[in-house]
Structure 1
Amino acid sequence: MNEYKVVVKNGRDVLLSEVMQAEDERDVLGNLLIKSELFNQAFTDIRITEK
């Protein structure tokens, strides 16, 4: 498992900023889409960086 810092923004507003453990970036993205807090919100940017 690797650690990734994830930041989801809508314009300048940060909707989510957290550190996640996952196998790779695809696993991180899958976990993000499963989170109910992102289902009903518009977002413009997802940044995933390995820690």
Structure 2
Amino acid sequence: MTEKKKRSPEEIEEIARRRDVNEHTVVCLVAMVLIVLMAVASMFTAG
């Protein structure tokens, strides 16, 4: 990407939106993993 062309506002917005979606996906995955870990831990401690 050596070619430097001016980005349009729409393009910048699109990139920002994509980054937000990626962040949201990561947060969801981390939350799911934590929930699964807590469920497994409670199963082990209860059983």
The structure having more radius of gyration, on CA atoms, is 2
Richer in strand (by share): 1
| TM-score > 0.5 by shorter chain | no
TM-score, normalising length from structure 2? 0.31
Richer in helix (by share): 2
Using CA pairs below 8 Å that are at least 6 residues apart, which structure has the higher relative contact order?
1
TM-score, normalising length from structure 1? 0.29
